Amino acid sequence: MRVLLINAPPHQIVERMYDTPEFTRLSLATLAGFIRPHGHQVACIDAKFERLNYDDVVARAKEFKPDLVGLTAFTNEVKPAARVAALIKKAIPDVKTILGGVHMTAIPERSMDEFGMFDFGAIGEGEQTLLDLIKALESRGDLHGVDGLIWRDAGGAVVKNKPRMDIGDQDTIPMPAWDLMPAGREYTVMTARGCPYSCQFCMNPNGRVVRKRSAKAFVDEIEWIVNHTNAERLFMCDEIFSVDMKRTHAILDDMIARGLNKRLKWFAQTHVNFVDEDLFRKMKAAGAYMVGFGIETGDLDKLQYLNKGIRSWDKILQARQAAKRAKLAVEAYFIIGQPNETYASAKNTIRLATEVNPELPIFGIMVPYPGTEVANMAERGEGGFRIKSYDWDDYNKQIGDALEFKGLTRRQLEKLQLFGYLSVFIKNWRFMDLTRFVWRFRREGFVFLRKFLFKKMSFLNKEAPSLPAQAPQKNEELAYFPEHHTSHR
């Protein structure tokens, strides 16, 4: 079969890193690498990376003439993905479409009801599900046997098959087909899937069992990227890069032994429970230029309530100082709008952020991503939360507007968000760093200030990703079962 995999254009450019990225989508390359060895013709279109609009994507699809189009989407990407699917189905009437990713995994029935242009949905890990679907379509076989699939029968009824087991041995997944993607200066790579924690704001789509690739297989992939592309930087996008510290040392040793540390720089997110100074020093020697910590809150009660495995400020500050001694920069993530957040508890978060004094602080506002406990709480009216919008375009951690808060107004949260950034830089006398930060994120800052001043987002994209007419309207009364930072982005 001819299979086309697509990352849709952005609805609006808010976060340049994600909306106009310098890296191609890992999931497309991984899926392509999995199905290509079975004889299928595969092509990939990363509209975000290639700066393509909807017409460009449709034109490329018509040229390739696919039998099946697969799209992937985080929550705030699902409407653009649906628009692409609808436009391609209009241009190529016989084509079939499937949506995978965390949004479909979180609310599969609702997604199929809301977006009629998707013939199928992949729930959970999509590699084997996509391959089995292709085989079934090719042989006109029974779709009931494709685990992890949700689909419509001949009468239009939605059928949800039994769940698919996660792939335990990650080395059985071939290396991503990076040769089918346009070459870039940055690449996202993954050494393992899964996270042992169950943070309330994260769906944890890869499960709580960490499933690891062998150190050799992972470093082989990095070496291929270095030898065949113009890569300058990597992002290790594991939920917790160093969750197995012994294995992480093995990866770093191999990178150094092969000289990869001299050929590119890289960044990884990890957890303060799985680091020490020796590891940081080896990360630095292996080419790391920064490490990210998900801290989220500085309020001790909320820190323990988050299920993040952090009980006090001490562990956080120790990890920060260890990184500093190793001369490794830190990026730290904080979320304003925790369950039952108050002005005082939010100020505790800002106090901790100021004391940690990361080279790059990131303050987001809580988003009720489908599949998370925060979304469940909001549905039940708990935690001072209430769902304000089911427009998935609103599900953005920087400027979104999907959640209302009982203890603090949205405007108060935005003021605290702004104060958090200013506090870290000004109270630590980092005025030049603040200037560089503002310049680096000038687009995001402009969007934030416009929204803050005018209290709306309509100015962002007047052409809006309104879906073609054949898309069914959302039923707001439909049952809702509510994706580092990470699961829905």
What is the arithmetic mean of pLDDT over 387-392?
A: 91
What was the pLDDT predicted at 452? 67
Q: Residue 309: which pLDDT band, with cuts at 50, 70 and 90?
A: confident
What was the pLDDT predicted at 451? 67
What is the arithmetic mean of pLDDT over 447-473?
A: 50
Of residues 478 and 12, more confidently modeled:
12
344: enclosing H helix or E strand? helix 343-356
Average pLDDT, the chain: 90
What is the arithmetic mean of pLDDT over 420-425?
A: 97
What is the arithmetic mean of pLDDT over 158-174?
A: 96
Residues 6+ positions from 453 with CB-CB distance below 8 Å: none
Of residues 459 and 307, more confidently modeled:
307
Answer for the pair 297, 201: CB distance below 8 angstroms, yes or no: no
Q: Which of 96-110, 344-358, 432-446 has the lowest mean pLDDT?
A: 432-446
How far apart CA 69 and CA 66 sit, in angstroms, is 7
How far apart CA 159 and CA 343 sit, in angstroms, is 46
Q: Residue 2: which pLDDT band, with cuts at 50, 70 and 90?
A: very high
What is the arithmetic mean of pLDDT over 114-143?
A: 96
Per-residue pLDDT tens over the stretch 197-253: 989 999 888 999 999 999 999 999 999 999 999 999 999 999 999 999 999 999 999
Which of 210, 279, 278 shows the shortest CA–CA distance to 238? 210
Per-residue pLDDT tens over the stretch 18-40: 888 999 999 999 999 999 999 99
What was the pLDDT predicted at 397? 79
Is pLDDT at 351 greater than 80 in this prediction? yes
What is the arithmetic mean of pLDDT over 139-155?
A: 95
Structure tokens at 279: 């590891």
% of the chain surpassing 90 pLDDT: 79
How crowded is residue 314: how many other Cβ atoms within 10 Å of its Cβ?
10
What was the pLDDT predicted at 4? 98
How crowded is residue 238: how many other Cβ atoms within 10 Å of its Cβ?
24
What was the pLDDT predicted at 488? 45
What was the pLDDT predicted at 459? 35
The half-sphere exposure of 427 on its side-chain side, counting CA atoms within 13 A, is 15
What was the pLDDT predicted at 11? 86
Q: Are strands 2-7 and 68-72 parallel, antiparallel or unpaired?
A: parallel
Q: Residue 165: which pLDDT band, with cuts at 50, 70 and 90?
A: very high
Question: Alpha-carbon torsion 220, 222, 226, 229, what sign?
Answer: positive
What was the pLDDT predicted at 464? 41
Distance linking the first and last C-alpha atoms of the chain: 32
Of residues 109 and 476, more confidently modeled:
109
Q: Residue 481: which pLDDT band, with cuts at 50, 70 and 90?
A: very low
How crowded is residue 203: how many other Cβ atoms within 10 Å of its Cβ?
24
What was the pLDDT predicted at 405? 92
Q: Residue 45: which pLDDT band, with cuts at 50, 70 and 90?
A: very high
**Largest alpha-carbon pair distance within the chain?**
67
Predicted model pTM: 0.90
- Kindly list the structural domains of the chain, giving each domain's residue range(s) and its CATH number in brackets, ordered by start: 2-160 (3.40.50.280), 183-366+402-454 (3.20.20.70)
Structure tokens at 300: 């001790």
What is the arithmetic mean of pLDDT over 375-403?
A: 89
Per-residue pLDDT tens over the stretch 74-90: 999 999 999 999 999 99
φ/ψ of residue 150, rounded to 5? -120, 140
How far apart CA 281 and CA 278 sit, in angstroms, is 5
What is the arithmetic mean of pLDDT over 447-465?
A: 54
